[in-house]
Structure 1
Amino acid sequence: MQKSAERPNALIRLSYRTSKIQNSRNRSIVPLSGLGHRSEQVDQSMKSKRILIADRDTAVRLKLSQILNDLGHQVRTTSSAETVLNWLSQEDADLVIAEAVGEGRLAIVEEIHKARPQVPIILTSDQTTLAMAVKSVGAGAAELLPKPVQSHRLLAAIDRAFACAHDAEAAKAQARAIRDERLPIVGSAESMQRVYRTFAGLVKPNLPVLIWGESGVGKTVSARALHDFGPRPEAPFIRLPLGAASDETLTHELLGDERSPGKLAQAAGGALFLDGIDDLSLSAQGRLLQLLEGAGAQPSGCLASGGVRLIASSQQDLRLAIAAGDFRPDLYFRLAAAAVRLPPLRERLEDVPALTRALLLRASRDGLPNKMIDAAALRRLQQHDWPGNVRELDNLVRRLCALHTGGLITAQAVELEMSTASDEAEEAPDTSLSELVQKRLSSYLANQPLSDVPPGLYDAVIHMVERPLLQVVLSATRGNQLQAAEILGINRNTLRRKTQDLGLDKWGGGRSDTSVVANDMANETRAAAFSF
């Protein structure tokens, strides 16, 4: 039987909250009005504790000492975590509050934790990221509070630290070294801090997880992060988009045939991401459950040994779908030992600036022009409610990088691009592409005599449609021509030839080859003769 010390619920007490309120030195502890009355409400277990504090900022140390002394605690402060380690070799303590600065400071924290594993450690840091959360847990921290620290958050963290004995072995089991600092998830809003806290507790356990939220909130990215931050990041991560999959499709996709292995076999030792389980019919839900249970019952089945971690996604709270009779409760409990809701972007607008900067960097890595963005532009982005969530923001950022000249994205550029997108959406919200093209062409031919229409209309229309089509698909697949060809339904060699003829590189951008450019200019000239 598993020891209680290994329970993941005893470990993760990570509380992140970003505050823009700062003291007169723009540092640290944010006072809370009425704090002096707090001592009357403190439990007896909170009194007369020995607390050691390490922070480089003198004002921070003084403020922390004042708060904790007023609560009846015995406090010693220092600017160095190494000093705290020395103190602990000579005397006992009930709590350590230390500032986390870089890898070295976390190493010292880990030493403190090894020396006195029974002493809870609360870290404060300028970083509020998933990577920092996992690293902090790995170093042995019970809490991670972002700077500037709010007094009530600190006191709540101290309450939790004293109320729950810290578990050294379980803490180590929840984290691993982070090999890639390019974080998949960005945000420090309170709603995202809850996600980090939950994910940190789910990294190690091989439990099936359901990630749900609106379209575009980042369910696939989060599922991948849960796998990559886990103990087997090198193992396969296999995504199975379910959509409106039938019973037969599910059987073939999961189990495969003699010629090719199914998704279950491909995911052996890693994770299988069932994307969009809420799109399945009740019949398909039953078949999926049957297949999963069957794979787990087989002696050689990869689920039988726990070799495949199941991660599922949904755009809705499936508990409501169960109540409405639209989803099978047995499948829900098979796939949702833990359920995590990803908040929509409108619920964390304070994260828009950090998200935008991160997306600009990712766009640059994907071959788009490197851009910066000014404060006014970020404020304009925060005024939008983002019905398409992070995906909508990502698309807007990529359009801004591709279409707007200059190295700085301004509020005017953002306003122009958002207005253009809004106009396009309002123009034909329920109109198909075919109907839109027909409408434009009919209007074009009706507004002038046919004798004035220049020759080459067919080639001009094909060029106008084909080039952006290939650009968009290649950009969406990050230049993966095999995947792009599959989406387009054409042969890979055909796609390669078309990209060469149109002067497109693998990302859908232009090439500078002389012959290609000349050919492309000829096509553009032909298309320019028509003003649709």
Structure 2
Amino acid sequence: MTNTILIIDDESAICEALSGILADEGFASLTASSAEEGLHVLEEKDISLILLDIWMPGMDGLEALRLIKKRFDLPVIMISGHGTIETAVQATRNGAYDFLEKPLSYDKVILSVNKGIQLARLKRENRLLRESSPSENSITGNSPAVLRLREQIERVAPTDAWVLIRGGHGTGKELVAQTIHRYSARCKQPMIAVNCAAIPEELIESELFGHVKGSFTGATENKKGKFDQANGSTLFLDEIGDMSLKSQAKVLRILQEQKFERVGGSRTIEVDVRVLAATNKDLDEEIDKGTFRADLFYRLNVVPIMVPDLLDRREDIPLLVEDFSNQFSRKGLGRKKFTDEALYLLQRHSWPGNVRELRNLVERLVIMTGGDHIEAADVALFLGNAPLQPPPAPVADSDYRLLSFKEARRQFESEYLLARLRENDGNVSKTAEQIGMERSHLHKKVKALGIVVK
């Protein structure tokens, strides 16, 4: 996406000259002849950097700089025809990225602009990295269900197709959305997330489309909406099934046209937004009940992805527990190891809260359990009388025809290795010697398959 530079200067000749040199370097530019006009443009347009004159009629550049840094996270380069060291210092203290004196050296202007945009991009990327670490934002597991999920993500992520992500509470739908965005061409911009269930119906328009100052009680200044913020990037509509019918109608029009007006405004704004939506509800059932619009469902459901329940991927539980334990260790909660018996008990739990429930339980156990190991008794204490699932039954020969080759092979390997390990009371070295496999290879295979010997 082309970077747009806003030039705020009351001298039209300076604006024209700067616009020309910026165009030669591949930048788009907008101009404003006053600080007040420039602030209005910032409310309406996506700007990458600002060139701001200090001495102007009305509001001066230093006052405008304070307002810009307060309301917008953008690099500002100050320009002045009669600047002093004191003025430059004051501008820098107020958050200016650079200070250039007139007559302007266009080489210095371009150099400063390029560095300012690069710095802004690095700050944004750094912020995203701080907000997330790879281990906390990757889909953990090697079960057939997770392998299928990863394959779907790998196929759809590089495209601009819209995706409807469905699954139960706590399955990781937002994580799937983040992964799709991270592997898309839009990943240089942050994904904008909206929890549709958390926004009151009367505020949904303002939240999504923005509003102009004075459009309703409490609208004390112009505000960009989520669609504006996601321009050129990805908009994630979480819990879309909880949106009211009235709000659904408004969103549908915007999704179809990619155009909207802010609340209280008259100017049409066009955006380029990829939409990912998620819900834990059965939308087909909601459509039959009349609580969800069929046309909105078909607009969103270009590529459907179903996130499996934890119960359908129990073999991933040891890997998830290890992942969570490492995360909590990095946060200073200490490193603790779960025994095989404890993991076995976790794999038999029904997990109505899915991965979120498992993560919470692991954190609780790490905090509340003494010692370096977490035993089955510790797990049983915190699970209480929660229902357990019986161990998975072996697949009958006739049932293998229902599985893909990869699934059938995985099932056979799991049953075969579990039986041999049980014969040797869980002794990996002895089992490896008997079946003609390297001990390290068998250990990795057992871990990957989530085999727990009891």
Alignment TM-score, normalising by the size of structure 1? 0.43
